[in-house]
Structure 1
Amino acid sequence: MAGVVLFTLYLYTLTQYALAAETNCSRIFHSAVISNGKLYIDGGEMHTRWPNETITTKPIDDLETIDLTKSWVNSDTDLYTYIPKPLANNTAIYLDEGAAWSDGDNLFFYGGYVSGVNGPSVPPLGTWKYNIASNEWTHNGFSGAALVRLCQGGAVQSSSKAYYLGGSLNPGGNPSFAGTAGADVYMDPGLITLDMDKQEWTNASTADMNEWGTIGDGYTSLLESAGEEGAIVAFGGYKYSVGQTLSYLAYRQNETIHRNSMETVRVYDISEQKWYTQQTSGDVPGWRMSGCTVVAPAQDLSSYSIYVFGGMANTTALSDGNVYVLSVPSFRWIRVTDDNSIRIKHKCVRPQNNTMIVVGGNTPVTNREYDPLPQNCDSATFANGIGIFDLHSLSWISNYNASYSDAYRIPSKVSDVIGGSETGGATVVSPKDGFNSTSMESLFKKRNNATDSGTSSTSTSSTTGQSSSGSKKSLSGGGIAGVTVGCVAGVGLIADLAWFLARRHRKAKAASSTRLAWQSDASAIPPLESPQKELYGSGPEVYEMGVRDQARFEMPAENMAVEMPAEGIKR
């Protein structure tokens, strides 16, 4: 009997070690949106760290949530709740670098591509909707302009409209091109809009945005109460001519002509469907891509503070982890923090007037931007892949206070530049050298009745609704789902658990650290004489991203939602 007890205790000790052995490293390529007092995080890839410093990678196939109606600390082990997806027959899907929006009752998912690390087969084209109350998924009922599936565009929203600016077409997201000889990643122009009430897509031209009308992995923000129907502000990221192949890596963006400026920003009047350019001044940040923004309007709407965090230049030496504010309509840049903690591929949301939450992201090391390395793992500031920034005190904190309901207060570092006080009253309401056009000046003198959600890449909603889901006392993708050892129930139970953990460990190891070519060091990527590809097991073909010009694809009729490389593709 004593031997059985000792053996049981031995297995229990091994189990506890195994439970503690793996930790989350970082999460990238996901989307994030707030609805009904919850933060929803979808798709992307999780890097898991093991005791021997091995990092494994796997795609995330469930929908994850954080309760924003309760207070918590970002290091809490029960921070996340997980909603399983019905993946059979593509009832629901999971992709990298997709976009998410919410109308308060439903979540909408568009864009992306399959993971190159044990990802699924390429799903059919479409827009997916998740009804929060009924916990049901569908991709039926959408109409309007025909779409291809894009990635790395700018996703913003108002209360009823979802906008997607620019982006690129990846064969890994489009079943008609996956496996097609000569298919490659290339730029695509256009601003597509989803009316979430009607479930209808429309398209607007971006030809006047810049010389090619393209932008990828840049910074896109919505000023919802500006003008008649709002204004979109865009800067940073990359740009290439339509049909030109490209690399998604920041360190490959060596030519200035392929960088959307941080000093000259683009402004889109939604009501007039007109693009403007405007010079900025002040603490203009160096060019960057792969960061995020949130928008905080002054209480009197005399100014909008666009908070900009993270991103990477074409070298880590030229990058920084500072937080900047672009104040509009003065178009003044103000650096509000000094930090060397570079972060890329994260999302930002604004759940409260004075709070920004940073979701996921990765710390690039030299040009190893996405490689799963111990140096890339999250610091304590971003425990559980969550960072919290106070927009008024301009400080990183670890605790989320659900009762923090103060109105937005402009920090003194901003009001010292634009005048007024923490509640508004800006006295500097035009650019240093004036507006580029009187029409744009008129745009910023108008205010509509919209209540700014204050977010850019995602949006909040105050309506209510519940989803059926299970709580896991583990970290996103890194812990063991639903396993709690409260007591030693017997040798059989412990042995079964130990077997499960060993099996899961082998499965995680099988999800190797192999990266797509555009996510890896340049030394591993040969010059492209013709499009090349790697095969990941029996999954879809994943293409390397070249940097040379390839043959341009013919564009379809002007009334299509986005420029498409071939005919016959249906949404």
Structure 2
Amino acid sequence: MAIFSRVPLSRSHLFFVLFLALLSPQVAHAQLYSPLDPIFYFCSRWFSSSVVKDGSLYINGGVETFYHSRVTSDTILGINTYLIQVSMETSWDWKTNITITDESKSTSNPKTGTYPPSLIRGTMFHGPADSKEVYAFGGTTFMGNTSFLGYVAPDASTYPLWTYAYDSSDFRWGQNDIGQPWKPNHGAAAEAIDQGLGFYLNGQIDKGTDSSTKNFGNDSTLPLDGMLIIDLANATSNNISTAAISGDGPRVGGGLQYIADVGEKGILVAIGGQLSPQNVSTSTSTNGHLLSLDTVDVFDISSYVDHPETNGTWYNQTTTGEIPEPRIDFCVVAASALDNSSHHMCVIPQPIVVQADPNKRYLYGGRNTITGVPYDDIYVLSLPAFIWTKINFGASPRWGHDCHVVGNRQLLTVGGNTTNEQCDWEIKGVAILDMSTITWGSVYNAFAPEYLVPTPVTKWLGGSPSGGATVTAPAGGYNSTGLAQLMGVKRVWPTSNTSQSATPKPHSHHKKTNVGVIVGPVIGGVAALALLAGLLLWFRQRRHKKAMTPHELEAAEKSELHEEPKKMPYELPVDSHKPYEMAEQHGLAEAPRDTTTHAVELDATTISGDAKPGVPMLRTPSNENPRILKR
């Protein structure tokens, strides 16, 4: 697939493209994706999806405003129809030397004839660490400007999961039917990379979902119940009930974060969002109910993985501290203290993040859809204390952005609507926050030092920047004994000398001595010494026998035949005073424990029951009355 250069289109070139689009459907579809390069003509982008893997940031879809030309300030509202790639292997300054490329989706799948979709409000998954693919899931067609040259009518919902094989030289996109009736959008997503699982909580369908929903109003939606658990390696899924989650209904625009170190297989923490009206004819942009952030929901992953016939176990927990105002369309990441004494979720209205102890989450930006108020603040939710800390104020509110933890201690934000209908001041659509010093900048440091807990967080939790939190439980106690027990379980990770099939712990900053690397040479050396000693003994005995008389030699051989066999030195004697075994060492002989990408976040088409992957399906609109839909 060609990578399009950022060459301005002249007026005559644009007319030529329009002329080609009228010649035939095949030419038209291919050309729809090429006129406006999303990097060269970039003004602003939001509701895209992104992921970091193998030294690259991938950005897919999203609403975009393009400069009409590089000469005037006129803009065009449309959709990003390219896959954008940003190199994260080396340091850069987005003002001067960032490396960004993009790849058109103007080639169809040779097996099905389907083009890779360009959608909004979907998500991207990292996928298993050993795969050379990234995954695009869900989303909806942008219906805000159907006359845009890149507009394509909603496709069927049969293939909500697409893969992009970035190492392949052939057609890189693959489509997968995961056995669900709808392609959701605007849900909350998280991923357990170490287990190959993707999670998608609630969400909705709308006018842009597929051909069966084309009669919906522009702002009308139907909420989707349940949480999808997707086996990314096998492209299968299961929709489990979320009846136990707070709010008494499905939500949109909320956050979902994976915390690996808590519980037997990690936990999910669900934050915020909006409960939408359960009526397809009602606009959800100004109605509905925003969930308070004074309560969060916790899902025990092992409760489902160990018993997949169940819906797993949800808990809700009251939070304290500087509780953020209710909001949606924020981004959230997580970080842990070096000693894993706490974990932190950072919630950001605009792209902002702060990391703290192991059970901390960061929230940045977002908006209140009821009042229309946008946010540009950063909050950190620290676990297991469940305390909110306000970290930062800003002057550029935004929503509909993504964020990722990169380079040990930096928060990378991607896009976002700046709410003032102006182009993004971050002219490359990305920004960097140092989560330890809580300062914004334009430089990404690929070799930054390890993360340290910010001072505002340690004031609440105690301890130091390296950890040692002294507040280790909610101020008012846990809402349930089950959650208290879950939060008290520290996950046991396989060590580096276990079987190769064991999954390594993600995001670990610590190394363990690889016993195989050290002990192997030791045993080899001991065996060599034993062999040398045996040869010396054999030569000595042979020389001794040569010096015997024939009568003495015959007597000695008879004695050897009847004596007890001697123990050979195949085992080392146990003696604590002698250095027969080497102590554990840390040095160049160590094998690193981590094999997965660090700090990735974590922040579809009509279907029939017998649909098969790679086989297009046709479907007529449903005659069912609107209701809350099960996937």
Please tell me whether residue 202 in structure 1 is matched to residue 276 in structure 2: no
In 1, distance between residues paired with 2:54 and 2:440? 25
- 1:107 alignment counterpart: 134
Cα 1:402–1:100 shift into 2, 3 Å:
same
- Say yes or no: does 1:451 pair with 2:487: no
State whether structure 2 residue 353 is matched by structure 1 residue 353: no
1:169 CA displacement: 0.8
Verify: 1:178 aligned to 2:178, yes or no. Answer: no
Q: Is the 8 A contact 1:47 1:56 kept in 2?
A: yes
Contact 2:220 2:284 in 1 (8 A): no
Q: 1:102, CA displacement in angstroms? A: 1.6
How big is each residue's C-alpha offset from its partner over 1:287-331, in whole Å with a ceiling of 9 and x where there is no partner? Answer: 111110110012222211111100012477854311111111111
Aligned residue number for residue 276 of structure 2: 240
Summarize the Cα distance change of 1:247–1:266 in structure 2 as closer, same or farther, 3 Å threshold: farther
Query: Alpha carbons of 1:183 and 1:426: their partners in 2 closer, same or farther (altered >3 Å)?
Result: closer
Structure 2 residues not aligned, in runs of 5+ = 1-9, 14-36, 304-311, 346-361, 494-503, 509-593, 599-623
Give, in whole Å, the separation in 2 of the partners of 1:220 and 1:267.
Answer: 10
Q: Does 1:553 align with 2:630?
A: no
Q: Identify the match of residue 130 of structure 1 among 164, 174, 182.
A: 164
Are the equivalent residues in 2 in contact too, given 1:332–1:431 (CA < 8 A)?
Answer: yes
Residue matched to 2:257: 221
Tell me what 2:92 maps to.
Answer: 72
Contact 2:124–2:135 (8 Å) recurs in 1:
yes
Task: Give the whole-Å Cα distance in 2 for the aligned partners of 1:352 and 1:281.
Answer: 31
Higher relative contact order (CA 8 A, sep 6+): 1
Alignment RMSD (CA, Å):
3.0
**In structure 1, what is the Cα distance between the partners aligned to 2:338 and 2:391?**
20
Partners of 1:309 and 1:248 in 2: how far apart? Answer: 22
Residue 420 of structure 1 is matched in structure 2 by: 463
Distance 1:99 1:314 in 2: 21
1:98 aligns with 2:103: no
* Whole-angstrom CA distance in 1 between matches of 2:324 and 2:378: 10
User: Structure 1, unaligned stretches of length 5 or more?
Assistant: 1-11, 366-372, 455-459, 465-549, 556-562, 565-571
Aligned equivalents of 1:246, 1:321: Cα separation in 2:
29
Give 1:453 shift.
4.3
Q: How does 1:338-417 map to 2 (within 5 A)?
A: 338-365=393-420, 373-374=421-422, 377-379=423-425, 382-404=426-448, 406-417=449-460
Query: In structure 1, what is the Cα distance between the partners aligned to 2:628 and 2:63?
Result: 33
Quick one: which amino acid aligns to residue 158 of structure 1?
Answer: A
Distance in 1 separating the partners of 2:65 and 2:480 = 47
Q: CA deviation at 1:217?
A: 0.6
Q: 1:63 is aligned with what amino acid? A: L
Partner of 1:473: none
Instruction: Name the CA distance, whole Å, in 2 between partners of 1:188 and 1:302.
Output: 36
Conserved in 2, the CA contact under 8 Å of 1:188 and 1:242?
no
> After superposition, what is the alpha-carbon deviation per residue over 1:411-460, rounded to whole angstroms, capped at 9, x for unaligned?
11111111111122211111111110011111111122263449xxxxx9
Structure 1 residue 147 displacement after superposition? 3.5
Aligned to 1:297: 336
Is the partner of 1:129 in helix, strand or coil? Answer: strand
| Superposed CA offset, 1:500-552 (max 9, x none) | xxxxxxxxxxxxxxxxxxxxxxxxxxxxxxxxxxxxxxxxxxxxxxxxxx964
Determine the C-alpha separation between the residues in 2 that align with 1:185 and 1:199. Answer: 27
Cα 1:336–1:195, aligned 2, differ >3 Å: closer, same or farther? Answer: same
1:155-184 CA-to-partner distances (Å, cap 9, x unmatched) read 111111111111111231223333579994
Structure 1 residue 35 displacement after superposition: 0.8
Query: Kindly tell me: are residues 293 and 183 of structure 1, through their superposed partners in 2, closer, same or farther at Cα, counting changes over 3 Å?
Result: closer
Contact 1:212–1:241, Cα closer than 8 Å, also in 2: no
Rounded to whole Å, the distance in 1 between the matches of 2:395 and 2:41 is 24
The equivalent position to 2:101 in structure 1, one of 81, 86, 97, is: 81
Judged with a 3 Å threshold, the aligned counterparts in structure 2 of structure 1 residues 111 and 276 are, in CA distance, closer, same or farther, namely same
Name 2:42's counterpart in structure 1. Answer: 24
Deviation of the 1:219 alpha carbon: 1.8
CA contact (8 A) 1:343 1:361 kept: yes
User: Which of the residues 164, 188, 191 maps onto 1:154?
Assistant: 188
The offset of 1:53, in angstroms, is 3.9
Q: What pairs up with 1:435-514 in 2 under 5 angstroms?
A: 435-448=478-491, 449=493, 451-453=505-507, 462=596
Q: 1:283 Cα shift?
A: 0.9
Q: Counterpart in 2 of 1:33?
A: 51
- d(CA) in 1 for partners of 2:255 and 2:282? 19
In the TM superposition, what is the alpha-carbon distance from 1:83 to its structure 2 partner? 2.1
Measure the CA separation in 1 of the matches of 2:190 and 2:397: 24
Instruction: Tell me how far apart the structure 2 counterparts of residues 338 and 72 of structure 1 sit (CA, whole Å).
Output: 25
The answer to whether the 8 Å contact 1:130/1:138 transfers is yes
Cα distance in 2 between the residues matched to 1:416 and 1:246 = 45
- Which residue identity lines up with residue 108 of structure 1 in the other structure? Y
Question: Match for residue 545 of structure 1?
Answer: none
Instruction: Quote the offset at 1:363 in angstroms.
Output: 1.1
Does residue 288 of structure 1 match 2:321? no
| SS of residue paired to 1:439 | helix
In 2, distance between residues paired with 1:248 and 1:26? Answer: 24
Task: Say whether the 8 Å CA contact 1:231–1:268 is kept in structure 2.
Answer: yes
Distance 1:269 1:329 in 2: 14
**Cα distance between partner residues in 1 of 2:80 and 2:164:** 17
| 1:431 is the counterpart of 2:458 | no
Note closer, same or farther for the CA distance 1:319–1:176 as it changes in structure 2 (3 Å cut): closer
Structure 1 residues 417 and 189: alpha-carbon distance in aligned structure 2, compared to 1, 3 A threshold: same
Deviates more, 1:104-113 or 1:235-244: 235-244
CA–CA distance in structure 2, aligned partners of residues 98 and 363 of structure 1: 20
Match of 2:614 in 1: none
Amino acid at match of 1:327: S
Distance 1:185 1:461, change over 3 A: farther
Does the alignment pair 1:278 with 2:321? no
Question: Contact 2:51–2:58 at 8 Å: present in 1 too?
Answer: yes
> What amino acid is the match of 1:169?
I
Q: Is the 8 A contact 2:407 2:445 kept in 1?
A: no
CA distance 1:242–1:188, shift in 2 (3 Å): farther
Equivalent residue for 1:320?
Answer: 375
| Contact 2:407–2:447 (8 Å) recurs in 1 | no
Cα offset for 1:63?
0.7
- The count of residues paired between Structure 1 and Structure 2 equals 432
Query: Could you tell me how far apart the structure 2 residues matched to 1:362 and 1:336 are?
Result: 22
How high is the sequence identity, in percent, across the aligned residues?
Answer: 27
CA 1:147–1:349: 2 relative to 1, 3 Å: farther
The structural deviation recorded for 1:210 is 2.5
User: What are the Cα deviations for residues 347-382 of structure 1, in whole angstroms up to 9, with x where unaligned?
Assistant: 0111222111000001114xxxxxxx33xx212xx3
**2:450 maps to amino acid:** A
**Aligned-partner SS, 1:337:** strand
Amino acid at match of 1:403: F
Query: Which is further off, 208-217 or 332-341?
Result: 208-217
Distance 1:182 1:74, change over 3 A: closer
Q: Structure 1 123/397 Cα, relative in aligned 2: closer, same or farther at 3 Å?
A: same
Structure 1: which amino acid aligns with 2:392? T
| 2:153 corresponds to | 121
Residue of 165, 171, 182 corresponding to 2:201: 165
**C-alpha deviations, 1:78-100, integer Å up to 9, x for none?**
53111222543324221111111
Deviation of 1:232 (Å)? 1.2
- 8 A Cα contact 2:216 2:280, kept in partner: no
Could you say what secondary structure the match of 1:384 adopts? Answer: coil
